[in-house]
Structure 1
Amino acid sequence: MTQHLPRPARLRLPDLLRIGLIGPRTRRLRSALSALGIALGIAAVVAITGISASSQAHLLDRLDRLGSNLISVSPGENYGGEKVPLPKVAVSMLGNIAPVEQVSATAETKANVYRSDFVPPNQTNSLRVLSARLDLLKTLRGELSSGRWLDKGTQRLPVVVLGDTAARRLGVTAPGTKVWLSGRSLPGGWYGVIGILRANELVPEIDDSVLVGAPQAVAELGGDRTPSTVYVRTHPDRVRDVQDVAAATANPARPSVVAVSRPSDLLKARSETDTALTGLVLSLAGVALLVGGVGIANTMVVGVMERRGEVGLRRALGARRGQITLQFLIEAVLLGLFGGLAGAALGVVAVYGYAGVKDWPATVPMAWVAAGPAVAVLVGTVAGLYPALRAARMSPTGALRSA
């Protein structure tokens, strides 16, 4: 009567994990370097998506603070490419639109600004001297970094408020300093700095401007109260409606030569550009994941060749091909898992670090943090499949003979 050998017992999950950890434990440096590629890929994905999300959160925060309901109306160009000035009544006309909550304006002057009266006239630092209405700062929701804004008393005096860029280019760090204003057909004179504005990302043209009270600009600096830019703050739900009628309201005779824009659209366009760049970086992160998978595959192939004796011995003792396959596949999966967990942790640290440096609200993409290790495990599984099958195909005698 023929006797059949008993079927090999199935390995329990704890036993499989212990066997799967043999390779990573005995070859720590090689295993760490193999997992490093996966870790860098996952870290790049988490970091880039997190930094992008933090940037968008910062943008939304800025728009909430500055308001996306600001519209600027400025002179457009005719068919000859020449600027067509706005009518002097454009400010009051735009203020009569029902959804408009606030309106203010700046106007050009004939003056230039210099740090002193010894600076050559052509060295203007690309700064403009504008007349400003008293409600300009409130309409723009601007802030002062130091000093004070123009008021009814100072708008008729030789004093100025500097934009953030203008103050830096002129080397003015605090109110109390004097700057020299002069121009063609203007006698020139010293003007005291009473305030310095914070940078205004929504209206950057204010940053490189020197602002003077309208009465003083008309009396001494060649201003004529013709608005160069009108800023309109509307009801948040009626922005598009006001945009549609702003040109015809500002210049009913020639609405086609009026430029109407929404400054917050520029910020959103910049955010979309950043998003496109994020897509490129994510593609590079995918390449890093591919390189990490190749590294795991290479490590596993070398490991199989080095451990032929172990494979032959286990096969001789009754291990089935499926168990050998599962052993090496678990090693590859564990390498991917370790790399994925390390990469996710590294990416989170990078997001918090970068957001802290930029003073942004840190936004960690939890979906990517959770998916990162899963993707790494998938990469490890695919990378380890061929080496695992190769180890399982070894015959016991051949493996022992070559050991």
Structure 2
Amino acid sequence: MRASDAVAVSTVGLRARRLRAALSALGIAIAIAALVAVLGVAESSKAELLAELGEQGNLLTVAAGRTFDGTPTPLPATAPAMIGQIPPVRAVTAVGTVEGVTVRRTAAVPERQTGGITVVAAQPSLVDTLGVTLARGAYLARPALPEVVLGDAAGRILGIGPLDAQTRVYLGGTYFAVVGVLDPVPVAPEIDTAALISFGVADELFRQQGRPTRVYLRVEPDRVADVAAVLAFTAAPEDPRSVEVRRPSDILLARIAAKGAYVGLFLGLGGVALLVAGVGIANIMVISVLERRAEIGLRRALGARRRDVAVQFLLESALLAGAGGVLGVGLGCLATAVAAGLAGNPVAIPPLAPLAGLAAALVAGALAGGYPAVRAARLPPADALRTL
């Protein structure tokens, strides 16, 4: 039997039972769509993280050590200036945690309800050094006035909406005007939960004395390791072991690794869904063989060989799964595009994902149709014709 004839005969059963075929193909389509979407969404998210990693890979932080009760030990006041003297360093900014000071929406809120917000003294260069953008408002333009800029999480915890001249928070016994709210800072999450005030105000009201607890610096990309090796000795030459040098981009690498782990889990769940869909096709094909015993007997009586009958049902199963695979690949790509658009990520679908999805559908269809095809081929023609 020619290949074209085999395909034509195999589609007869699908066309005769269109609703059953459509529902069976839909099961395969959902499984393949899930697999393609998992790969596509993960790749889109990873592309965003990799782009951010490229931008933040030259950022280093120098953090002060902590005492036994968790209180940060301030760095030497000269640390930012000394770090700025290292030749490959492009930009430096310092922040200092103001201990014992809380920020609340109003004075009526109990002092113990801080919401986990910390008060941090910050320099004007923070925005440029970290590459921070403001969701609304402006940064600390008047460092001598009681003004505060809130991190993304801090703004949400305090319920800060649109900013105006009356938007204030109660900080350390004084009402501060809220002049800005920052966008999230993935490489410096401590900024998200911070209320930023100027060092001048912190020194005047809370006796901060200009002592930083953390220094952020940008260096030349190819000199990051060299600078990291000397930072502790430069920041605190008398006690370099009390200083922690970190590379915030390691957070992004950890997130990329975590996403890879979740991709494996979801692919496993998608594989289970594909297995269930394949069992459904096998069940439908067995029922089809039982319903078409007369057709099988008549074909055998007219000269069809066993392998012709087997090929007919095997192709029917593969075509059914292939149609579901094509639909599933389309749905998976669409879901990836929608998810990436909602998350603000670039659409990045691995080139092999659609091909792998279609191949998986065809393999599942072939395996599902194997037993029904063999059963149909072994059906004695005389027994099959008795159903006429």
Distance in 2 between the 1:320 and 1:57 partners? 54
Structure 2 residue matching 1:155: 3-state secondary structure: coil
Query: How big is the shift at 1:236?
Result: 1.3
Structure 1 residue matching 2:213: 3-state secondary structure: strand
Structure 1 residue matching 2:87: 3-state secondary structure: coil
**Are 1:148 and 2:133 matched, yes or no?**
no
- CA pair 258-19 structure 1, distance change in 2 beyond 3 A: same
Asked if the contact 1:163/1:199 (under 8 Å) is kept, the reply is yes
**Are 1:159 and 2:147 matched, yes or no?**
yes
Match of 1:386 among 371, 380, 385: 371
AA paired with 1:287? Answer: V
**Are 1:356 and 2:344 matched, yes or no?**
no
**Are 1:108 and 2:97 matched, yes or no?**
yes
Query: How big is the shift at 1:193?
Result: 2.1
Structure 1 match to 2:283 = 298
Match of 2:121 among 107, 131, 134: 131
Asked if the contact 2:289/2:372 (under 8 Å) is kept, the reply is yes
Distance in 2 between the 1:402 and 1:78 partners? 88
Matched residues, number: 385
Structure 1 match to 2:111 = 121
TM-score of the aligned structures, taking structure 1 as reference length: 0.90
AA paired with 1:262? Answer: R
TM-score of the aligned structures, taking structure 2 as reference length: 0.93
Asked if the contact 2:72/2:213 (under 8 Å) is kept, the reply is no
Asked if the contact 1:146/1:175 (under 8 Å) is kept, the reply is no
Match of 1:252 among 216, 222, 237: 237
**Are 1:220 and 2:205 matched, yes or no?**
yes
Structure 1 match to 2:192 = 207
Match of 1:241 among 209, 213, 226: 226
Structure 2 residue matching 1:160: 3-state secondary structure: strand
Query: How big is the shift at 1:62?
Result: 3.0
Which deviates more, 296-305 or 306-315? 296-305
Structure 1: state its 5+ residue gaps.
1-10, 183-187
Asked if the contact 2:73/2:213 (under 8 Å) is kept, the reply is no
Distance in 2 between the 1:50 and 1:130 partners? 40
Superposed CA deviations along residues 144-193 of structure 1, whole A, max 9, x for unmatched, are 22222224xx11122222222222222332142222222xxxxx322222
Superposed CA deviations along residues 298-350 of structure 1, whole A, max 9, x for unmatched, are 21111111111111111111111121111111101111111111111111111
**Are 1:96 and 2:85 matched, yes or no?**
yes
Trace 1:198-347 onto structure 2 (pairs within 5 A). 198-347=183-332
Query: How big is the shift at 1:111?
Result: 2.8
Structure 2: state its 5+ residue gaps.
none
Distance in 2 between the 1:76 and 1:96 partners? 22
Asked if the contact 1:340/1:373 (under 8 Å) is kept, the reply is yes
> What is the RMSD computed on CA atoms of the aligned residues?
1.9
Percent of paired sites with the same residue: 45
Asked if the contact 1:175/1:195 (under 8 Å) is kept, the reply is no
Which deviates more, 244-253 or 73-82? 73-82
Which deviates more, 75-84 or 382-391? 75-84
Query: How big is the shift at 1:33?
Result: 2.6
Distance in 2 between the 1:28 and 1:128 partners? 64
Structure 2 residue matching 1:227: 3-state secondary structure: coil
Which deviates more, 125-134 or 135-144? 125-134
